[in-house]
Amino acid sequence: MTENLAHEITPEALAGLGGGEIAYVRTIRSEDVKAMFPQAPQIAPGMTLFTLHAADGTPIMLTDSREAALANAMEHELVTVSVH
């Protein structure tokens, strides 16, 4: 018997999977930083930056290198996954 489980998991439950253990890295334009990190200082426009996010999408850190984001995840014992 085949069941479609996609209808049984709410978006909230899906976001909670891996909470505290899984993270992902995402690129962001410097123009979009204030929306995600209101406390961030003014950053020159046109830059590509990297954010580390918890499994539920909560931003954890902002950096100018992917390697630094991955190192931070590793330091906090988070497993990074690829998302598209």
Domain positions in the chain:
5-80
What distance in Å separates the CA atoms of residue 34 and residue 45, rounded to the nearest whole number?
12
pTM of the model: 0.73
| C-alpha radius of gyration, the chain, whole number | 15
> In this predicted structure, what is the pLDDT of residue 1?
45
- Among 46, 47, 56, which residue's Cα sits nearest to residue 22? 56
Model pLDDT, residue 27: 95
Write down the pLDDT at residue 56: 85
Tell me the pLDDT tens digit for each residue of 24-36: 999 999 999 999 9
Model pLDDT for residues 58-78, shown as the tens digit of each residue: 899 999 999 999 999 999 899
Widest distance between CA atoms in the chain: 56
pLDDT above 70 as % of the chain = 75
